[in-house]
Structures are given as structure tokens and as C-alpha cells.
Amino acid sequence: MFRTCQQILHKTRTRTSPSHHTFVWNNTFHRKRNISVAIVGSGPSGFYTAKYLQKLAFVHGIHIFERLPTPYGLVRSGVAPDHPEVKNVENDFAKVMEGGENVKCVMEYFGNVNVGVDLHLDELREVYDVVVLAYGCSSDQPLKIKGSDLKGVMSAREFVAWYNGHPDYEYLTDEIREILGGTDENAECRAVLNKR
């Protein structure tokens, strides 16, 4: 179900009164009940954080915010399709969204929310007791070789994201003809391309 950022914050504000907020700068919390957590990023680090926070009896709500419409980050868009054993972790993440062991902990996922644009960190800190920044990198270290900036030259990360249908890489052509480099990741990209 799609919700606007204002609706998300309003819903959360009405659930937790301001007197319940105890954000402490040295990151120590008095043991209290009903701590609410916002996690920015829905890749492996975000979901594993949620998984272990769910086990704490005093955590009553975890909201995961993601810039993309779909969750799972690199597991969804950064793993080559010929590695189903790695992609199987998505099943574990789905169980986290179902609530895990702490049945009192409410889990909610909000896709298409770009924190920093649609919703600001200060707004999250006003509403949640804990804000975890678990987003990943969105760019590569540029190669320092001649021609690396030419059209059609891309990193293995970009190629795998394109192949997996990541919306940020729709513009890449499917007329890719050659993969250079000798790393394991490049070999995997070559194998995927040869299957097409």
C-alpha cells in the first residue's frame, strides 16, 4: 500500500507521544519499553539489523525506508542470477518482515521513499527513538585508466544491476559485447552474458 511520507510520519507520531522519545547522543538508552526504530536502507545490513532488533522485547516497532520500490538491495540487484544459493537469503528477509520471534514488534516497509529528499533525517529523529542508517554505496571507485570514461564502459556492479533489472540502470544497452578484466566478478558477468 502506497503512503506519502507525511502520512507515515503522522501515523508514527500518533502512535508514540513525544514524552516517549529518549534519543541520547552518546547512544545509551535507559531500559525502557516500546522503543521505535527507523532503518534507512533495505539491503542485507538493514534486514539483519531488523532481525536482531526484533529479538529485543522492548522494541515495539521497526520501519524500513528504501529509495527503491523493492527491498533487499544488493541481494536483489547485485548478485548474478547464476547464484541462487546467495539469493535464497531473501526468504530469511521475508520472515523478518513477517515479524520474527517478537510478535509484539510491528514491522513495516516503505518503498519509494528517498531519505534526504522525500523525508529528512531530522524528521526521522523527531519521531523514532533510534534511526539506523544502513544504506549502501551507489557508485564505484573510478578506474584510472585511459578510456574508462567512454560510453559503454561500465563496472561489473553496474552490469549486474542492469542484468537484474535495477531501475537506475534501465538506460544501459543490451548490446553489451565484451567484458574485460580477470576478477571472479568479471568472469561471472561473462558467464551470464554468454547465456543470453
pLDDT in tens, 57-95: 888 899 999 999 999 998 888 887 777 888 888 889 999
- The length of the chain is 196
Residue whose grid cell is 545509551: 28
Please give the pLDDT value at position 160.
79
| Residue 133: strand pairing partners | 40
Please give the pLDDT value at position 18.
36
| Residue 37: strand pairing partners | 62, 130
Q: pTM for this structure?
A: 0.74
CB atoms within 10 A of CB 194: 8
- Phi, psi (5° rounding) for residue 137? -80, 150
CA distance linking residue 91 with residue 121, whole number of Å: 30
CA distance linking residue 54 with residue 24, whole number of Å: 21
Give the N- to C-terminal CA distance of the chain in Å, as an integer: 35
